[in-house]
Amino acid sequence: MQFRDLKRQYNILKEPINKAVTEVMSSGAFVMGSKVEELEQSLAEYVGVKHCVSCANGTDSLYLALRALNIGEDDIVFVPDFTFFATAEAVSRVGAQPVFVDVDPNTFNISPEKLEEEISLWEETGDGCQDLKAIITVDLFGQPADYIKIQEIAKRHGLVVIEDAAQGFGSRIGEQKACSFGTIGCTSFFPAKPLGCYGDGGALFTNDDSLANTCRSLRQHGKGVSKYSNEKIGLNSRLDAIQAAILQVKLSVFDQEIVAVNHIAELYSKLLDDSIITIPQVQEGFHSSWAQYTIILPDEINREDLQTKLQGKKIPTQIYYPTPLHLLPAYHKYATWYKCPNSLSLCQHVLSLPIHPYLTEEEVNIVAETINKIIRSNG
Ligand SMILES: *Cc1c(COP(=O)(O)O)cnc(C)c1O
């Protein structure tokens, strides 16, 4: 069994994907061009926003969003403490300071209450030299952050919301899709993300014409009206036509995959013994894209031991994430003054199980039953 079986998906989509890739190779147009523009249109339509600007990867999409919003030195950006490093890395890369906010242990996402507390604290006690600018919300494991509350907080404190939907593409609150909740939405097409290509890729989404233009310029060396009238210091962060062609094929079956993966998640939640472990919670009216299915183990269960026993039965598991951002070596200078107890506890107790749209019911049964057996016989 594989944690995320990308080969199974390829075998099903082999014919249209091979055809699309061959077409690009015969066309001789490899970077940007009409395939990429077509994809940007399809993605914007899918999300329900005016502009999609593709780029080289999800990390760059966050960097480009921060640059387009003029966030840099002496600025503060609030980020959840429990996420992949790239969320905060982009903030540091523009020279701003990330402030780590604790998460809600039920949803794994940034806690609106802790966010409000942290903002108030900085407003009262900040040294006055730094500007509070933005919040980067993360749709962790596929579930949208609590945008109803977060947008209200952002508005009250004059902060911009940037949505990191690298794991949340395809999720929604009611009928509103991920990547549309912030002033700019960012996503990744890394192969293991909900909508993955066969290499690196990413995109930004916005309804703002001027921000979209700035992102288009920045991703291509800060170009002006022409390619060689560079106006700003940008970077080279373009999507290639082969990835765009692959994504276009995958997008055509994406909604079916989201339905399938939701079915898998429901089955897990029904079968796993929730008197011992905590199964993932989805807020009412929220629909996850299930980038991960993550359980929380109680103190009595030794996680490493469980992982080894599962591996013995050929069931792969992962720990997303083993270390809170504020304790990572790269951020050691902040370690002493941040406390995020929920994030720290999750890092010690979470376990992510195999999940993808092509996992079979039989495989889910095997995983759930094996876990139940091990945890029931524990101690
Ligand atoms: C994967 C990921 C990113 C970065 O995307 P890449 O395409 O790998 O650069 C950023 N944020 C989160 C939450 C992610 O999971």
Q: Which residues pair with 188 in a beta bridge?
A: 202
CA distances (Å), origin 244, targets 182, 235, 249, 282: 24, 20, 9, 31
Helix (H) or strand (E) holding 52: strand 51-55
Each residue of 296-322: pLDDT tens digit? Answer: 999 999 999 999 999 999 999 999 999
Confidence check: pLDDT of 379 > 70: no
Q: Which range is least confidently modeled, 24-33, 104-113, 155-164, 171-180? A: 24-33
Burial level of 323, CB count in 10 A (0-12/13-18/19+)? middle
Number of H helices and number of E strands within the chain? 12, 12
pLDDT of residue 48: 98
How far away, in angstroms, is 369 Cα from ligand 1 center? 32
**Reported pTM:** 0.97
Question: Which amino acid does the sequence have at 252?
Answer: S
Asked, as a colleague might, if the bond just before 321 is cis with ω within 30 of 0, I would say: yes
pLDDT of residue 218: 98
Q: Which is more confident, 227 or 241?
A: 241
> Distance (Å, rounded) from C-alpha 172 to C-alpha 169?
9
CB 168 near ligand 1, within 6 Å? no
Each residue of 240-297: pLDDT tens digit? Answer: 999 999 999 999 999 999 999 999 999 999 999 999 999 999 999 999 999 999 999 9
Of 86, 142, 80, 136, give the one whose Cα is nearest residue 105: 80
> Distance (Å, rounded) from C-alpha 215 to C-alpha 238?
11
Report the SS3 class of residue 351: strand
pLDDT of residue 135: 98
Question: Which amino acid does the sequence have at 16?
Answer: P
CB 243 near ligand 1, within 6 Å? no
Of 31, 60, 68, 46, give the one whose Cα is nearest residue 186: 60
161 DSSP 8-state letter: E
Instruction: Categorise residue 325: left if φ over 0, alpha if ψ from -120 to 50, beta otherwise.
Output: alpha
What's the Rg (C-alpha) of the chain? 21
Mutational pocket test of ligand 1: of 62, 66, 87, the residue with most ligand atoms within 8 Å of the beta carbon? 87
Structure-block tokens of residue 376 = 């029931």
CB 141 near ligand 1, within 6 Å? no
Q: Which is more confident, 211 or 227?
A: 211
pLDDT of residue 44: 98
Mutational pocket test of ligand 1: of 137, 190, 197, 219, the residue with most ligand atoms within 8 Å of the beta carbon? 190
Of 294, 302, 297, 301, give the one whose Cα is nearest residue 320: 294
Each residue of 329-377: pLDDT tens digit? Answer: 999 887 666 789 999 999 999 999 999 999 999 999 999 999 999 999 9
CB 163 near ligand 1, within 6 Å? no
CB 188 near ligand 1, within 6 Å? yes
Confidence check: pLDDT of 235 > 80: yes
How far away, in angstroms, is 86 Cα from ligand 1 center? 6
How far away, in angstroms, is 127 Cα from ligand 1 center? 32
pLDDT of residue 336: 64
pLDDT of residue 378: 76
Pairing verdict, β 293-296 and 350-353: antiparallel
How far away, in angstroms, is 61 Cα from ligand 1 center? 9
Each residue of 73-88: pLDDT tens digit? Answer: 999 999 999 999 999 9
Each residue of 101-149: pLDDT tens digit? Answer: 999 999 999 999 999 999 999 998 877 778 999 999 999 999 999 999 9
CB 58 near ligand 1, within 6 Å? yes
Query: Cα–chain-centroid distance for residue 155?
Result: 23
CB 136 near ligand 1, within 6 Å? no
pLDDT of residue 130: 85
Give one DSSP letter per residue of 164-202, joined into a string: E-TTTTT-EETTEETTSSSSEEEEE--TTSSS--SS--E
> Distance (Å, rounded) from C-alpha 32 to C-alpha 47?
21
Mutational pocket test of ligand 1: of 54, 84, 109, the residue with most ligand atoms within 8 Å of the beta carbon? 84
